[in-house]
Amino acid sequence: MLLSVSDIIGQQRQFFATGKTKDVDFRIEQLKHLKSAIELHQSRIVAAVKADLNRPEFEAYFEIASIAEVNYAIKNLKSWVKPKKVPTSIDQFPASARIYPEPLGVVLIVGPWNYPFQLMISPLVGAIAAGNCAILKPSEIASHTSEVVADMISKTFDPAYVAAVEGGVEISKQLLAEKFDHIFFTGGTKIGKIVMEAAAKHLTPVTLELGGKSPCIVDSDIQIEYTAKRIAWGKFINAGQTCIAPDYLLVDKKIKPDLMSAIKTALHEFYGEDPQQSPDYSRIINQHHLKRLVEFIKDGEIVAGGKSNAEDRYISPTVIDKVSWDSPVMQDEIFGPILPVLEYDDFGEAIAQINARPKPLALYLFSKDKEKQQRVLRETSSGGLCINDTVMQVGVTTLPFGGVGDSGIGSYHGKASFDTFSHYKSVLQKSFWLDLKWRYAPYKGKLDLIKKAIG
């Protein structure tokens, strides 16, 4: 008999109340089970992502990268859970103070369709490591991968501990109507607002991994071949359906013609004369998104690509020049294989244009100039900054990954995942062997002492 959402949450609350998930050895054992399950299901995961997005096998293995997160958590968990002793001031003497990480309880993880396995499992690693129970809601849009996730989770964990719930909008509404101890959502800004609104009714904290228009500034002082290849790769893997893909280029006008030529060369090298025939090029997730993207191709002047095939859910890797800040393609996150190009005369002008818009999830700068690197670091705000490459920052386990402002709330990866799903409880412990009387009434003659202590 299928359990209702409320029943699953009820079972998980009962299981969490036993205290079993707080045991560090139990957590490590569950992480090892998760790792074994991923290894066991590798071929199914690759096949499912291929069916959903036509992802080439090489790129499909990015989904399996969550194993690195598991390994990192297993290796470091015993140090993460240790209480941290912190100093106390003289007015607390005699006392000790410590910070204890403790699990939140029952958490909800809602995943996206663009990396439908990895972006479900990576947050789960943090939830398990921190000692929580979890319910996963994979994206119904990537239906083949959703089925694999649900099957793998059901075969690996007791649903009273970790469960996966499949379904569409109605199931999502049922889940969001319930009270959780934390909600972790990856997806678009529009749905992120709905999640946050639902969470607010229960005062549930949220982590929102959103997106936005991630700029890529290209200075004149670069290695042009490497720059072109790194931009083209970061933009067009998974047919541009990557939340941290460079959304647009902002190029020093002196080198724009050379950069455009080098990007065209890189695309030919990657995908051949006809990318539609390339085994290494993905497809758009569905017809709805394809129609939205085809409209963007009408903007500006096509430098490369510009072809589409609705039946095959195909849009060629496309570079568009002569667009303005007001063009439709510049109004929302593209989330597809279309790269608009703008130019600048003055580096400060480029920074000002970026700062005039919502803070992006990622910001990219290609430049050898150390001063310009420092200017971008100091003068802009973004979820993350990557200098002289694209997308690769997401693979650094020791770097927290997350947005700021419109691009998200909170972060994860590595220790940051553990922190996200933990509450850090402050504990002050006093002794009975001495009791200083400075704080007790009568206060006569004690005010100067307090002023000195505060000052």
- Band (pLDDT 50/70/90 cuts) for residue 437 is confident
Within 41-138, residue ranges assigned H as helices are 42-53, 57-60, 66-80, 118-129
Distance CA 344, CA 367 (A): 14
Burial of 84-114, coded b for 16+ CB within 10 Å and e otherwise, reads eeeeeeeeeeeeebeeebebbbbbbbbbbbb
**What DSSP designation does 239 have?**
G
Q: What's the whole-model pTM score? A: 0.95
According to the model, what pLDDT value does residue 3 have? 77
Residue 309 in this model has a pLDDT that exceeds 90: yes
pLDDT of residue 47 exceeding 60: yes
When pLDDT is averaged across residues 374-392 and rounded to a whole number, the result is 98
For residue 130, the model assigns a pLDDT of 98
Classify residue 2 by its DSSP letter: P
Is the pLDDT score of 170 beyond 80? yes
Chain position carrying tokens 């007790």: 440
d(CA 111, CA 185): 6
According to CATH, the topology of domain 215-402 is: Aldehyde Dehydrogenase; Chain A, domain 2 (3.40.309)
CB 386 within 8 A of CB 392: yes
Q: Which residue has the tokens 């859910």?
A: 313
Can you tell me the distance from the alpha carbon of 153 to that of 141, in angstroms, rounded to the nearest whole number? 19
In this structure, which topology does domain 5-210+406-427 adopt according to CATH?
Aldehyde Dehydrogenase; Chain A, domain 1 (3.40.605)
Predicted confidence (pLDDT) per residue in 246-285, tens digit = 999 999 999 999 999 999 999 999 999 999 999 999 999 9
The CB-side HSE value for 424 (13 A sphere, CA atoms) comes to 13
Q: What is the reported pLDDT for 111?
A: 97
CA 98-208-389 angle, 5° bins: 95
CA–CA dist 384, 75 (Å, integer): 26
pLDDT in tens, 136-151: 999 999 999 999 999 9
- What pLDDT shows up at residue 221? 96
Question: Which of 88-97, 162-171, 307-316, 369-378 shows the lowest per-residue confidence on average (mean pLDDT)?
Answer: 88-97
Q: Is the pLDDT confidence value at 1 over 60?
A: no
348: tokens are 């400060």
User: Quick check: 318 pLDDT over 70?
Assistant: yes
Question: What pLDDT is recorded for position 454?
Answer: 77
- Structural tokens at position 360: 């992006």
Query: How confident is residue 453, by pLDDT bands cut at 50, 70 and 90?
Result: confident
State percent of the chain over pLDDT 90: 93
- Ordered by start, the domain boundaries in the chain are 5-210+406-427, 215-402
Is residue 110 over pLDDT 90?
yes
- Helical residues (DSSP H) of 205-346, grouped into ranges: 224-236, 256-271, 287-296
Catalytic residue ranges = 209, 243
CA distance 258 to 264: 10
Q: What's residue 328's pLDDT?
A: 93
